[in-house]
Structure 1
Amino acid sequence: MMKLKYWKPASCIAVICVWTTLTATARAQTFNTLVNFDGTNGANPQAALVQGIDGSLDGTLSDGGDHAHGTVFKLGAGGKLTTLYSFCAQANCVDGANPYGSLVLATDGNFYGTTLTGGEQNFGTVFKVTRGGKLTTLRSFCQQLYCPDGATPVAGLVQGTDGNFYGTTEAGGEYMSGTVFKITSAGALTTLYSFCSQNCTDGASPFAGLVQANDGNFYGTTWIGGSFYGDGTIFKITPAGELTTIYRFCLQSDCLDGAQPQAGLVQATDGNLYGTTTQGGAGSDGTVFKLTPGGKLTTLYSFCTQANCTDGGYPQGGLVQGTDGNLYGTTVLHGGKGYGTVFQINRAGTMTTVHNFDSTDGANAMAALLQATNGSFYGTTNLGGSGSGGTLFGMSADLGPFVAFVNGAGKAGQRVGILGQGFTGTSGVSLDGSPVIFKVESNTLLIATIPTGATTGYVTVTTPSGTLTSNKPFLVIP
């Protein structure tokens, strides 16, 4: 079975940064290669990007950098690429190496993430890195014999509404088939669940991270385990560690329902969960699916069902819901030029290929997209580009600016970070129609306080340039 996440570049020769800024007005479906990675500035991005509080695009590179073991980087307004940290800067890579997962912007303003390898035992780490590039290793995995605390985290973290971070490891655990864990900002780790505790019918080897849904539980996928054929699962786990297997893939003949998901899930505004599988479906090259809160799975689209697989195949990254209500994603393979695609799919399953990669502008997009608050989408390719080490690209879809949350849920009295642009001179903020006390921290960051009696709803921000609305409702926790 292909594990494309381990591919390396053939050569690394050049870097080109095209001018960009998060406040620019976008044209419909305009695609631009913004950075070509060449090894010296990092190489082979595996993970999605995140938007920083200063409006930057931040991410990880699994290879390259000063010590050839990956980096944390930032792309600022004007297209300036800055390496915040190069891994393996310490002897024996005790600071970690080869980050494959995305960063998460935490409520303290720092980024948190994982590395696949490195650390004290060379089985990966959890780290914190400041916006200035100071890295702190919070945890090295495999502290005990046989790694009961987990090993080799592929995915990044999610910050829960309790302020703790939650994630998965691909290996280790009590049954050596991966774990779900919780870790505090101080580095105290709790293993919540070890996979394969039920002859692997509960799943094994989670490659993807978690999403906390509106019900307060976390949802994720495992790459293998589950059914007799072992083609992966969807699971729910409470913050206390009680796991329920919601769906086992390849239950249908020829795996028409999909197989082997490597990406996490996204909860859309309709309350359903959406995701991808890398294999299975009518074309045997992966699917897009919908899962209702009641656990009913519907295959929305099967890849490689068009002649010569011009619709793409092997979607390894997850989905993101755009402000137009559609879902957007990427495929690693095929497409009109043979190097993967960017696609749009509505919630009824109508698929549109938005971009075909041709290697010069990138190849093998393995991560989900980010819709930044300027309305445009940004993503990465693992290979291709002029430096052969992958690319960072931007793509407009004629969608307007909006505001987003650092953390999309909270209780009355808590302070919430709001990301956007043009905040200087803001005259009002409201939550579900009710006014909110706020402070303008910068042109790209507001801090709002959830008022007593607030109800779940969209946030609006009145700026000198107009009113901006959040891309999703803010969830008020009782």
Structure 2
Amino acid sequence: MIMIRRLLQATLATTLAASSLPMAATQINPELATAASTQPPIVDVYSFEGAYHCGGSCAPDGAGSSNSLMLASDGNYYGATVSGGSLYPPYYGVLFKQAPSGTYTNIHSFGFSPDGATVVTSLMEASDGNLYGVTDAGGEHYNGTIFQYNLRSGVFTTLYSFANGGDSYSQLVDDGKGNLYGTTSYDGINSFGNIFSWNYKTNTYTDIYDFNNGADGTRPWAGIVIASDGRIYGTSRFGGPTDHTGTGFGDGIAWSINIDGTGFKAIHNFGSSETDGYSPVQGFVQAADGSLYSTTLYGGNDCSAINSTSGCGTLYKIVPNATEPTYEKVYAFNLNAGQGVQPQHSAPTLGGDGKLYVVAQSGGPAGYGQLMSFSTAGAYSDVHDFGVPGAVDTSASPAAAVLEDQGGNLWGGTTAGGANQNGDIYEIKAGIAPAMTLRASTVDLDEDQAVQLTWSVTNAFSTSAKLCFASSSDGSFKGLKPISGSTKVTPARAGTILYSLTCGGSQTALASVKVAPVFVTTTTITSAPSTLLYGRTGTIVASVTSPSGSVSGTAEVLVGGKVVGSAAVAGGVARIPFATSGLSAAAYSFQVKYEGNQTYGDSESGVDKITITKATPAVKFAISPTTIVDGLPATFTVSVSNGGAPLSGTVAFSVAGKTIGSVPLSSGSASLTVDTTPYVAGNFTVTATYGGDANDASASATQTATIAKDSTATTLVIPTTIVSGTPISATVAVTKPNLPGVPTGTVQLLYAGEVLGSAVLSNGKAIITASSAGIPVGSYALNAVYLGDAQDAASSSLASAITVTKK
């Protein structure tokens, strides 16, 4: 076991000391070197001051960042160094905080015991808001530790010391239920490594699976991932049937297992062909195609140009499937083509552009490493060459993956180079599509206002990566969240509020909002009517006061949450119109709300009551024509109004208490055409009654309808000559021109105003037989008179001539 540990430590030391490679060994291609001028700019954010080997003294800031940075929910980057610090000898590394603005802070120096030593892998932030990590040495049993760093208090805590061998190089992953999962290379009951969990709610360590150096391999070195199928995927650096290193340890195995430690399945034996990769030391990242991507340290193409007979390493993928996962080599790194080789810690980074970003510590034009990108199909691109002569940056030998920020820039650390040749923290201005965004609907608001937060994560496909939690500096944004969504939050205090969404434990999107303070106000109703007629507008008087001065702004009257009136607040007083037109006749509760402004907070009054009573509308009634000819139609027209919107309802018309018709209002009016045939001539009182509606009371109006008798025409037919003493036979006809019906009644025959005789009409006609005895001989004019009846007017005929002769 000691021999194996020495091999692993020698590999790590070789990795971290890559800055000592001679320039001649890199076979620099001038054409590749000049290509650096076309690459995105790189910024040396911070250069470590301590010497890696601590040859004389080590600066407190440490030296050599061999793990990936993570961006925490407080907006700062966190990482660790494998050496340096303030505790010596021999300087066991530090935890550090790097602000995006450039300020570097050493937050903990490792002292071997009891806190551990040498952090090789990256930190992560769990859903409880604390940072967690592992050391590969030190602690109570000298085998490494699990530790916590509290972001809020700044307190470092050693949680657990590995007892059976330890040596963990695995970044922890969170299941969102309080469990962190990782691996060790030497722990477990067989001392071949194990998979463990740490429950940060109960502070409980659980050994989930113990490797036995059989089909499962030995010495898991890389991190693990909880894939989309819910299983853990990882690798054993050693084990398997082939052994390209000649050490007898095997080339490594890829495997998967259920999260409870059951159902272990070996997926691939590395080194299964001459060109296959082997010695897997990186973890997995799941891409949009569902495949898990990682790299091997060795295998693939020849790397003898850097004195390595083990090969340059490969990019490969595992297609997860609970029953039969599959393996496929995607790309073999090529030193002779100026590519980076032998990638080390962490895992490939899946960018917001869908590409896989792989950091190689060696290779590239200058031999000091390269940042490469790959499509999932294996298309290679050179993103940045480290340590190229003549290039702006002096960063060299990056040992771990990059981290994409919200602006699409890539952050990382190196173990060599920088201003002090002890490694640095760098930022590559890549400008790729952001993988995470968190946006606020406004950057400035008042303390009592809400802000809409909208977020999206485009590179999270594994269960591990999809674990997102929210946090904010005021506690208003918190809890587990989906990878995309939107919510409205109200800040809990004034000041600058930082909102964050952290996914997969290491990538974070941020949004900052400046919240202006507001002063407390009190709103009181000082005057209000208890009743209002529907359609009328009343006035509500309210006072708005604050200990901080005279209040201005706007106040509203609310009924059931609906604004029925608003007015400006002047000198702390608002006179608000209370409009009833949008309500119904009923009893209501209402409040006055002061809306607030940038200086004063909003407030609401107590509840008051008001009753809206029905309005009594005005009814106008007209009859056309004013005098009705009996038998001809008449029109009754009514308009009903309350001075506001047109009313609804029905108008009923009645004569002598008997309803003769009902008509619904239309635009406030109703008309009824009446047949007068059933009525006799005379004067009648007609009543128009509006029945009311929900908001208007009933009302009525009367008019007198005058029905005139029908006009008649009387005609007379008599003989022109009669003998004195003989009877006169006169035929009289009475008609109603252009009117229906036949007159009835009596007609008379007149001579000089004297009635000679009369008769009753039958079907409008009558024959009058009168004596002529009283009429002297001569010529005379006779006429007929119709005396009329209840419906028909009297009329006279024209005079008719008659001559009376002697016997």
Q: 1:431 to 1:347 in 2, by over 3 A?
A: closer
Give the corresponding residue for 1:220: 234
Give the whole-Å Cα distance in 2 for the aligned partners of 1:261 and 1:241: 21
Give the whole-Å Cα distance in 2 for the aligned partners of 1:445 and 1:353: 43
Give the corresponding residue for 1:310: 338
- How far is 1:53 from its partner? 0.9
Give the whole-Å Cα distance in 1 for the aligned partners of 2:205 and 2:265: 22
The equivalences for 1:29-40 within 5 A come to 29-39=40-50, 40=59
Determine if contact 1:402/1:471 at 8 Å carries over to the other structure.
no
Of residues 393, 410, 435, the one that matches 1:377 is 410
CA RMSD of aligned residues (A): 3.2
Determine if contact 2:18/2:368 at 8 Å carries over to the other structure.
no
What secondary structure is seen at the aligned counterpart in 2 of 1:205? coil
Give the corresponding residue for 2:299: 280
Residue type of the alignment partner of 2:162: F
What secondary structure is seen at the aligned counterpart in 1 of 2:427? strand
Of residues 100, 111, 119, the one that matches 1:77 is 100
Give the corresponding residue for 2:193: 178
Determine if contact 2:440/2:453 at 8 Å carries over to the other structure.
no
Residue type of the alignment partner of 2:357: Y
- How far is 1:449 from its partner? 6.2
Deviations 1:124-170 (A, max 9, x none): 0000011243111110111xxxx1xx411122211123220111111
Residue type of the alignment partner of 2:104: L
Q: Which has the larger radius of gyration?
A: 2
Give the corresponding residue for 2:116: 96
Deviations 1:187-227 (A, max 9, x none): 311111111x2x43211111111111122221111111123
What secondary structure is seen at the aligned counterpart in 2 of 1:382? strand
1:164 has 2:179 as partner: yes
Determine if contact 1:53/1:445 at 8 Å carries over to the other structure.
no
The equivalences for 1:217-296 within 5 A come to 217-229=231-243, 230-242=250-262, 243-252=264-273, 254=274, 256-283=275-302, 284-294=311-321, 295-296=325-326
What secondary structure is seen at the aligned counterpart in 2 of 1:364? strand
Give the whole-Å Cα distance in 2 for the aligned partners of 1:77 and 1:251: 45
1:61 has 2:68 as partner: no
Determine if contact 2:403/2:410 at 8 Å carries over to the other structure.
yes
The equivalences for 1:306-385 within 5 A come to 307=336, 309-317=337-345, 318-358=347-387, 361-385=394-418
Q: 1:444 to 1:312 in 2, by over 3 A?
A: farther
Determine if contact 2:217/2:252 at 8 Å carries over to the other structure.
yes
Give the corresponding residue for 2:422: 389
What secondary structure is seen at the aligned counterpart in 2 of 1:313? strand
Residue type of the alignment partner of 1:33: D
Give the corresponding residue for 1:19: none
Determine if contact 2:48/2:63 at 8 Å carries over to the other structure.
yes
Give the corresponding residue for 1:136: 157
Give the whole-Å Cα distance in 1 for the aligned partners of 2:441 and 2:290: 30
Give the whole-Å Cα distance in 2 for the aligned partners of 1:355 and 1:443: 39
Of residues 81, 92, 114, the one that matches 2:134 is 114
Give the whole-Å Cα distance in 2 for the aligned partners of 1:442 and 1:401: 23
Bigger mean CA deviation after superposition, 395-404 or 218-227: 395-404
Of residues 188, 192, 211, the one that matches 2:204 is 188
Give the whole-Å Cα distance in 2 for the aligned partners of 1:10 and 1:224: 23
Give the whole-Å Cα distance in 1 for the aligned partners of 2:280 and 2:234: 10
- How far is 1:73 from its partner? 0.8
- How far is 1:362 from its partner? 2.4
Of residues 309, 331, 334, the one that matches 1:301 is 331
- How far is 1:247 from its partner? 1.4
- Consecutive unaligned residues in structure 1, runs of 5 or more: 12-26, 405-418, 433-437, 451-455, 464-469, 474-478
Give the corresponding residue for 1:441: 472
Deviations 1:435-477 (A, max 9, x none): xxx9882599943665xxxxx76446899xxxxxx9999xxxx
Give the whole-Å Cα distance in 2 for the aligned partners of 1:78 and 1:448: 28
Deviations 1:269-291 (A, max 9, x none): 22110000011113421011121
- How far is 1:373 from its partner? 2.0
Determine if contact 2:227/2:320 at 8 Å carries over to the other structure.
no
- How far is 1:4 from its partner? 4.3
Determine if contact 1:423/1:445 at 8 Å carries over to the other structure.
no
Q: 1:100 to 1:301 in 2, by over 3 A?
A: same
Give the corresponding residue for 1:15: none
Determine if contact 1:458/1:472 at 8 Å carries over to the other structure.
no
What secondary structure is seen at the aligned counterpart in 1 of 2:235? strand
What secondary structure is seen at the aligned counterpart in 2 of 1:363? strand
Aligned length: 415
Residue type of the alignment partner of 1:121: H
Determine if contact 1:420/1:444 at 8 Å carries over to the other structure.
no
What secondary structure is seen at the aligned counterpart in 1 of 2:183? strand
Give the whole-Å Cα distance in 2 for the aligned partners of 1:193 and 1:259: 23
Q: 1:448 to 1:107 in 2, by over 3 A?
A: closer
Give the whole-Å Cα distance in 2 for the aligned partners of 1:439 and 1:112: 17
Residue type of the alignment partner of 1:323: G
Considering fraction of residues, name the structure with more strand: 2
The equivalences for 1:419-430 within 5 A come to 424=443, 426-429=451-454
Q: 1:205 to 1:398 in 2, by over 3 A?
A: same
What secondary structure is seen at the aligned counterpart in 2 of 1:203? coil
Q: Which fold has the larger relative contact order, with Cα–Cα distance below 8 Å and residues 6 or more apart in sequence?
A: 1
What secondary structure is seen at the aligned counterpart in 2 of 1:5? helix
Q: 1:444 to 1:401 in 2, by over 3 A?
A: farther
Give the whole-Å Cα distance in 2 for the aligned partners of 1:276 and 1:83: 32
Bigger mean CA deviation after superposition, 58-67 or 353-362: 353-362
- How far is 1:265 from its partner? 0.5
- How far is 1:338 from its partner? 1.0
Give the whole-Å Cα distance in 1 for the aligned partners of 2:18 and 2:386: 18
Give the whole-Å Cα distance in 1 for the aligned partners of 2:455 and 2:434: 17
Output the TM-score relative to the length of structure 1: 0.79
Q: 1:423 to 1:248 in 2, by over 3 A?
A: farther
- How far is 1:421 from its partner? 8.2
Of residues 64, 68, 87, the one that matches 1:44 is 64
Residue type of the alignment partner of 1:241: G
Give the whole-Å Cα distance in 1 for the aligned partners of 2:426 and 2:271: 34
Q: 1:49 to 1:289 in 2, by over 3 A?
A: same
Q: 1:123 to 1:459 in 2, by over 3 A?
A: same
Give the corresponding residue for 1:5: 12
- How far is 1:6 from its partner? 2.3
Give the corresponding residue for 1:414: none
